[in-house]
A and B are shown apart, each in its own frame.
Chain A
Amino acid sequence: MIEVSGFSKRYDGTQAVRDLSFTVARGEIIGLVGLNGAGKTTTLRSICGILAPTAGRIAVGGFDITKQPVEAKRRLAYVPDTPHPFELLTVAEHLKFVGLAYGVAYAGERVDALLRKLELHEKRDAFASTLSRGQQQKLAIACAFLRAPDALLLDEPLTGLDPAGMRVMRDAVAAEAARGAAVIVSSHQLELVERMCSRVLVLHRGRLRALGTLEEIRAVADKGADATLEDVFFALTEGAPESPTGVDAERATG
């Protein structure tokens, strides 16, 4: 569903991402992890068409994001790390706008259920500017889930959520994947990534450091079976060389 091939991004004299390749299949949740400045947000923004790749190709549902941007964007939903809802629109009006934009129903039982699940049903007529940070995050998630996207990109999705909200969010993402969406979750919360994701992509200084299931990247990091993702992550990123090592090119694109 999501294909990234030889993707590089350079801006302001900095090579943010270098020769990155991977794919995300339907129903798969991939965790994108890396230190600050590793290139995670740049990668997500490029996949959703906000940033143009300097080199390489990105496709969503078979549509090239630079050549057929509208078709590709119609199939994806992106939830940024900091939500910025329209301050002068209510929760219901946000959903109506998204419904009109993507040609999906913005009212009815399914929408009610979605709002109830995200504990926003009582805030339906509240202006977005009056919502708490966590509620704004839930609104951004509701807008993303409303259109049942083929590809779902989540940048730090749990920021600002309370424990109950985090659980709801985890379950909802799992449900989206079960429905058939290809999901990329970028997060610093390694425990969450370990629990939610079927594969993990470790980015370091803009380069692919490792990609695979936890077992596979344990092997890359030369760690035992009891090593957590955190152990593996630090082993891969502390004093890591500039060029990628131990990554099977075939695995990287598959």
Chain B
Amino acid sequence: MNAALRYLWIVARVNGLKAFVRSLKRPRKAFGTLIWVAVLGLFVLGQWLNARQHGAMNLVSGPSLTMFFAVLLVAGTIAGLLQHGLTFHPSAVDFLFPGPFSRRQIAFYRIAALYPITLLSSLVFLVFMSARVTSLARLALALFLLQLVALHLQTACAIVSTALSDHLVRRFRGFGQAILGILVSAAFLVVFFADPPQGDTGVGIGIGSRIVGAFDSETARVVFYPAVAAARLVTASDWSSGAWPLIGLLACVGASLVLAVSLPFDWLEASLATSERAARMLDRARHGAATAEPTGNARAKRILGERWLFAGAGAIAWKNVVTLLRSVRMMVAALLSSAIVLSFVLAFARRDYSSGDPGILARVAPILLLLPVLVQQYLAFDFRRDVERIEELRQLPLRPIVVAFAEVVTPAAAVFVLQLIVGAIAVVVSGLSWVWIAFGAVVLPAFTMTIVVVANLAFLLFPVRAISSGGRPNVGAASVSSILNMLGFGVACAPALVAGFFVFDQWGRAAAAVCVGLAVQILVVTMLLALTGMAFARFDVTRTDG
């Protein structure tokens, strides 16, 4: 590597590490990091205990590993083709593109800059698979080398895609993402509904034997050679029998790197456009806005018309509704993630209960209730996205509690609609009575509103942005905020639950218990709205963590 680029690579990584260590002095960051370490530690412990219990039966098979590694390769290749050029940080664009560096040097720097992340993601996979192999060292090596091949292929595909027009790639990107989304969803449905786990289950998620078997064919061995070599390295009985797969894998790493940096395409211009687009998305995320760029012409007026509902404070809700309607991807993502979680829950519930059994409700109800927590990152069209506009909101001739209500009503309504859709799917799949949907339509709004209000109140009191000012995800701090939200929601719902149980215990009438509980919850949410209004009025606009 060029001396200047080598210096840049080293200094940026060392300074980044120092900055991370320094950030641990902040209690929330330290706590968030601790939680992540604890979660991974618990997972390793669980894996280890499981391995002790099941012994050799627990070991992952070669074809399963080949399939898993092949998925990594294919995902990298598709991601590269959808990228159209390489994505660089704006500072790299400013200094490297007009600098005295060849395209090959810049491409290699870009690849090398991703090696630490590749190593880190290999470690994460290692944690998940550690108890299912005989040699941890061979698994670590195979994972890292295979991920390097995937990274090189992704880079090569991203460079090759610059030969296509940006317009074509953009169209293809949406189509490709949709296909990937459908495939992933279909895989979940097939795995959990059509092909239940049986004996050796691949990488621990019940992969069907027929799918796994396809990766043991001669064709697959040629097409996915790096994956086959990596799997053979992992399943080798010792280092000497794993030597040839290791040599093969190293050759793949070298060949893919040479391919990535030697492609004779002029990718700088396409990469500039891609990098600028990525920088705009990052900037929007940093400021709390949706990451998707608005495209096409505005049609809000046709969608919403001139409604009395959107007068006065309603204007804030109108603004949030318009933003929501223009963020279809967010809504699809929310619906998709809800559907995936629901498919898990229903799959397990159907094993334990027969169709139409109200017992299924005990599994589905908590999902519906906690859906806002799951999807709030997609539908937070409230104070969390307006954090840069707090001063403008304060200038409106409205009382703080009214502003607070107007801000939270849109995401609450959106989540409620989502709850009804997910609930309807659950009713159809599990054969439950539609009366439960009607019941949910009466009860859920107050609780959904509570979750959204608690999330906004917590945000105004302890603001955390998804992306820090340094452009890095605030994962640790965001984890702490999520936990605080959950605790806050539990505390906010406790009075209603206690009141409901008390009424039921005293008079034995479920309808009365529900009505009393609901009334208490509405009272609580009104009080929380008042508190949110106060927090909004006193919010220090200079105080945003990150």
Contact = CB atoms under 8 A, between A and B. Distances in A.
Contacts of B15: 88-90, 93, 127
A178 interface: no
A89 B272 CA distance: 22
Contacts of A7: none
Interface string B70-111: 000000000000000000011111110111111000000000
B97 A49 contact: yes
**How many B residues are at the interface, by size bracket?**
20 to 34
A73 B98 contact: yes
Given A80-B94, A85-B91, A93 B3 contact: no
Interface in A50-106: 50-52, 69-70, 73-74, 76-78, 80, 83-90, 93, 96-98, 100-102
B101 A70 contact: yes
A140 interface: yes
Given A84-B94, A89-B11, A140-B94, A51 B101 contact: no
A87 B471 contact: yes
**How many A residues are at the interface, by size bracket?**
35 or more
A86 B272 contact: no
A73 B100 contact: yes
Contacts of B294: none
Contacts of A198: none
Name, among A12, A69, A73, A86, the residue most crowded by chain B CB atoms within 10 Å (CB to CB): A86
A87 B5 CA distance: 16
Contacts of B92: 86
Nearest to A47: B98
A48 interface: yes
B8 A86 contact: yes
Nearest to B470: A87
A70 B98 CA distance: 9
Nearest to A74: B100
A49 B98 contact: yes
A83 B167 CA distance: 28
Contacts of B90: 84
Contacts of B102: 69-70
Interface string A111-138: 0000000000000000101000000000
Contact of B272 (A50, A74, A98): A50
B268 A50 contact: yes
B12 to A, nearest CB: 5
B19 interface: yes
B507 interface: no
A86 B91 contact: yes
A88 B98 contact: no
B166 A12 contact: yes
B174 interface: no
Nearest to B11: A93
Interface in A15-67: 45, 48-52
B12 A73 contact: no
Nearest to B268: A50
Contacts of A96: 7
Contacts of B2: 101
A156 to B, nearest CB: 14
B469 interface: yes
B101 A101 contact: yes
A133 B507 CA distance: 68
A129 B470 contact: yes
B100 A86 contact: no
A50 B12 contact: no
A51 B91 contact: no
Contact of A51 (B166, B272, B469): B272
B268 A97 contact: no
A189 to B, nearest CB: 22
Contacts of B303: none
A97 B4 contact: yes
Given A50-B268, A87-B470, 13 more contacts: A12-B166, A48-B97, A50-B97, A52-B266, A52-B268, A70-B100, A73-B98, A83-B94, A84-B93, A86-B8, A88-B12, A88-B19, A140-B94
14 contacts: A45-B272, A48-B98, A50-B98, A50-B268, A70-B101, A76-B98, A84-B93, A85-B94, A86-B95, A97-B7, A101-B95, A129-B469, A129-B470, A143-B95
Interface of A: 11-12, 45, 48-52, 69-70, 73-74, 76-78, 80, 83-90, 93, 96-98, 100-102, 127, 129, 140, 143
Of all A-B residue pairs in the complex, the 7 with the closest CB atoms, nearest first, are: A101-B4, A84-B90, A100-B4, A48-B98, A74-B100, A88-B15, A78-B98
